[in-house]
Amino acid sequence: MGANGAPLDVVKAVVKAGVEAGTPVASALMDVDLTILQGRILLYRVFDVAHEVHLADAERALRTTAGDGRSARLRLERQRDSVVFTDPPVTANLSERLITLADREWSVRVEAKAYDFGVMTIIWTLSIPPRTTIVELEEMSVQLEEPSLKADLERWMTEDCDVAIELMKPGLVKPGRRDMCDTLTVFALTGFEEEITGETLASHHRIPGLILGERVTFSRQLRDELRRSSFSYSTHDLVVIGYDAALVYDPTGTNDVSTLLEFALAQTLELELEDRDLDQRVALMHDQLDERRRAGQSWRNSPYETLRRNLLSQHLDFSEVLERVTSAVKVTEDFYYAKVYREAVRVFRVDEVVASANHKLELMSRTYSMLSDEVDTHTSHRLERVVIALILFEIVLTLLAKFT
């Protein structure tokens, strides 16, 4: 049988006809319905669950609750020193689930992964049935975007997150799941019935529909954009990164690339939340400034002194969070992993969020400087008044001594 489920000679005939017409083999295979021999669908949902996570305490709690087999610390399977996690996240194995997708029941392996900066990822793993075609996989992608199924997935994965929070609670600092979350679907494929290169797979006309989960005719501009977000390490692997979905074709079956995509998503959520908090802080800062201005000057203390102290504390707190999140992983020497991670950071808009947060921190810093000048001026005026009062007091004492 060939790549489209038809006899192999039919597939060969399609390729031969294309070649005879002057079409390269890769182009002749672009329209063939490829048959997948092995693969997985990874559904990620990322939550903010705490101010930070003491991972050693979380791991200890998991082992106490369910034994050593319940938890693990993350290790990249290829063990490349060029990818270094400052504090590798803790993974907990949760109970399996059953869901209905594409008119069949799926057994889902559920994991929870906690990061030290307070983010938790719920990971659902679905094994793709052997001999699933790329068209059928595209149909599954479309179904995953249906509002009713998305609502169910959100509810079920939120329930899993709450279970994981309870299991790891001893390691959570200021626990509490926030209402904002991010999602990512990774189609991790390890083999096709026909031998196929990464370049040929990237050119296949079903890939945009698979990544975007839509049944439309896509423009050349969008296809070109997806090609710009595609990378290969060898001739027979491929990574295509979309905003909320990705394709990973790797015959070795390792999870390293998916792990890097997941981490970039976790960074994105935490930084988006910090950026949103900064928006609220900046708005509150303006309100407090107006309130102090309307209250007028006080002879004893500057009306901005307390605000200045609070502003400095907030600036230090947010700067610490940004540093902790952005430096949680370092990708240095490995060109391929570095390219994949940096492209994920670009597509997920991490750089934009960091730039926005840094702009607001700079605004807070300038406001702090202006408030410091105002407080120093107020203090200087107060000292001048004290000196004048002392001089007047001394003059009065001198006059009283002279006329008595």
DSSP of 330-354: EE-S-HHHHHHHHHHHHHTTHHHHH
Cα–Cα distance, 116 to 55 (Å, whole number):
6
| pTM to 2 decimal places | 0.77
The whole-angstrom separation of Cα 5 and Cα 9 is 11
What does the pLDDT look like over 308-336, one tens digit per residue?
Answer: 666 666 666 767 766 776 666 666 657 78
pLDDT of residue 393: 81
Residue 14, pLDDT score: 42
pLDDT at residue 79, rounded to an integer? 44
- Which residue has tokens 């810093």? 365
- Other beta carbons within 10 angstroms of residue 195's beta carbon come to 9
| Average pLDDT value for the chain | 79
Asked if residue 10 has pLDDT above 60, the reply is: no
- Phi first, then psi, for residue 181 (nearest 5°) are -150, 160
pLDDT in tens, 44-72: 999 999 988 999 999 888 888 765 455 55
* Residue ranges per structural domain of the chain: 1-32, 36-254, 265-402
Q: In the structure encoding, which two tokens stand for residue 230, read together?
A: 């595609």
Dihedrals phi, psi of 82, to nearest 5 degrees: -75, -15
Whether the per-residue pLDDT at 292 is higher than 80: the answer is no
Q: How far apart are CA 225 and CA 223, in angstroms?
A: 5
Highest mean pLDDT out of 52-66, 186-200, 335-349: 186-200
For residue 228, the tally of other CB atoms under 10 A from its CB is 12
DSSP state of 232: -
The pLDDT value given to residue 210: 93
The three-class DSSP label of residue 38 is strand
Tell me the two tokens of residue 165.
């929070």
Let me know: does 261 contact 121? Beta carbons within 8 Å: no
pLDDT above 80 for 384? no
